[in-house]
Amino acid sequence: MAGDGEIFCSLFYGRRGNALFSRSWLPISGELRGILIIIHGLNEHSGRYSQFAKQLNSSNLGVYAMDWIGMKTKYCFFHYSYWIDC
């Protein structure tokens, strides 16, 4: 189905040990045409861009989005929801 892609969640750690949560949506098939990086605004989170990312996936564009350090972030490891306070 057009717009379907795979979502991946990960944590990156900076030099000070701060965790930065990120999501990526990658097309399931076809040649990757490019990558878009989304930096959200205040009072938002990377998950709000899921539908937009899936639309871009249908054009074979990969999407990465991250949540700012210090924001409470809901992340999706192991299909559970946890809260982290970086």
Q: Which domain holds residue 11?
A: 5-85
Question: What's the CATH number where 12 sits?
Answer: 3.40.50.1820
67 and 19 Cβ atoms separated by less than 8 Å: no
How wide is the angle at C-alpha 73 spanned by C-alphas 47 and 80, nearest 5°? 80
DSSP conformation class of 79: G
Per-residue pLDDT tens over the stretch 39-86: 888 778 888 899 999 999 999 999 999 887 765 555 444 333 444 433
CA 72, 63, 78, 14 dihedral sign is negative
Distance from C-alpha of 63 to C-alpha of 37, rounded to nearest angstrom:
6
Q: Are β-strands 34-39 and 82-85 bridged in parallel, bridged antiparallel, or unpaired?
A: unpaired
**Statement: the pTM of the whole predicted model exceeds 0.75:** no
Number of domains in the chain: 1
